[in-house]
Amino acid sequence: MTHIDAGAELDPVHPVPVPVGPATGLTAAEVAERVARGQVNDVPVRSSRSTAEIVRANVFTRFNAIIGVLWLIMMFVAPFQDSLFGYVILANTGIGIVQEWRAKKTLDSLAVIGEARPTVRRDGTAAEVATGDIVLDDLIEIGPGGKVVVDGVCVEADGLEIDESLLTGEADPVVKHPGDQVMSGSFVVAGGGAFKATKVGREAYAAQLAEEASRFTLVQSELRTGISTILKYVTWMMVPAAIGLVITQLFVKDNDLKDSVARTVGGIVPMVPEGLVLLTSVAFAIGVIRLGRQQCLVQELPAIEGLARVDTVCLDKTGTLTEGGMDVTEVRLLNGSDESYVRKVLGALGESDPRPNASLQAIVDAYPDAEDWRCTESLPFSSARKYSGATFSEGDGQSSTWLLGAPDVLLADDDPALHETDRLNEQGLRVLLLARARHDLADPTVGDGARAAALVVLEQRLRPDAADTLRYFAEQDVHAKVVSGDNAVSVGAVAGKLGLSGETVDARRLPADQDGMGKALDGATVFGRVTPQQKRDMVGALQSRGHTVAMTGDGVNDVLALKDADIGVSMGSGSEATRAVAQIVLLDNSFATLPSVVAEGRRVIGNITRVATLFLVKTVYSVLLALLVVCWRVEYPFLPRHLTLLSTLTIGVPAFFLALAPNKERARPHFVRRVMRYSVPGGVVAGAATFVTYLLARHHYTGSGALDAETSAATLTLFLISMWVLAIIARPYTWWRIALVAAMGVAFLCVLMVPGLQHFFALKLVGVAMPWIAVGIAVVAAAALEVVWKWVDRRFPD
**Domain containing residue 576: CATH number:** 3.40.50.1000
Q: Which residues of the chain have pLDDT under 50?
A: 1-22, 209-219
C-alpha dist (Å) from residue 511 to 99, 385, 506, 517: 49, 20, 11, 5
Average pLDDT, the chain: 82
Phi, psi of 494 (to 5 degrees): -65, -45
CATH of the domain at 759: 1.20.1110.10
**582 and 467 housed in the same domain:** yes
Report the distance separating Cα 595 and Cα 294, nearest Å: 11
User: For 240-336, where are the E strands, in sequence order?
Assistant: 296-298, 312-315, 322-333
**579 and 681 housed in the same domain:** no
Report the distance separating Cα 701 and Cα 775, nearest Å: 17
Per-residue model confidence (pLDDT) at position 5 = 37
Instruction: Please name which of 136, 165, 177 lies closest in space to residue 6, comparing C-alpha atoms.
Output: 177
**395 and 502 housed in the same domain:** no
Q: Give the total residue count for the chain.
A: 798
**699 and 579 housed in the same domain:** no
Q: Listing from the earlier edge strand, what are the strands of the sheet with 430-436?
A: 322-333, 451-462, 430-436, 399-405, 387-393, 374-382
Which of 138, 316, 486, 537 is flagged as catalytic? Answer: 316
**630 and 764 housed in the same domain:** yes
Per-residue model confidence (pLDDT) at position 4 = 35
Which of these three, 418, 442, 461, is where a domain ends? Answer: 461
C-alpha dist (Å) from residue 48 to 105, 185, 257: 8, 20, 48
Per-residue model confidence (pLDDT) at position 537 = 92
| pLDDT tens per residue across span 218-257 | 335 777 788 778 878 877 887 888 788 878 877 765 566 7
**413 and 478 housed in the same domain:** no
* Identity of the residue numbered 709: A
Query: Could you tell me which residues come within 8 angstroms of residue 217 by beta carbon, excluding any fewer than 6 positions away?
Result: 300, 301, 302
* Residue 181 belongs to a domain: no
**470 and 566 housed in the same domain:** yes
Per-residue model confidence (pLDDT) at position 217 = 42
**453 and 443 housed in the same domain:** yes
* Residue 703 belongs to a domain: yes
**611 and 742 housed in the same domain:** yes
* Residue 104 belongs to a domain: no
**700 and 789 housed in the same domain:** yes
422 catalytic? Reply is no
* Residue 225 belongs to a domain: no
Phi, psi of 397 (to 5 degrees): 95, -10
* Segments forming the whole domain that contains residue 313: 296-321+463-589
Does pTM top 0.95 for this prediction? Answer: no
Per-residue model confidence (pLDDT) at position 494 = 85
Number of structural domains in the chain: 3
Which of these three, 533, 558, 589, is where a domain ends? Answer: 589
**448 and 569 housed in the same domain:** no
**277 and 334 housed in the same domain:** no
Per-residue model confidence (pLDDT) at position 1 = 37
* Residue 136 belongs to a domain: no
Report the distance separating Cα 766 and Cα 770, nearest Å: 8
CATH of the domain at 410: 3.40.1110.10
* Residue 413 belongs to a domain: yes
* Residue 556 belongs to a domain: yes
Which of these three, 461, 484, 505, is where a domain ends? Answer: 461
Q: Where are the alpha helices (DSSP H) in 78-114?
A: 84-114
DSSP string, 553-617: E-SGGGHHHHHHSSEEEEETTS-HHHHHH-SEEETT--GGGHHHHHHHHHHHHHHHHHHHHHHHH
Per-residue model confidence (pLDDT) at position 379 = 84
* Residue 148 belongs to a domain: no
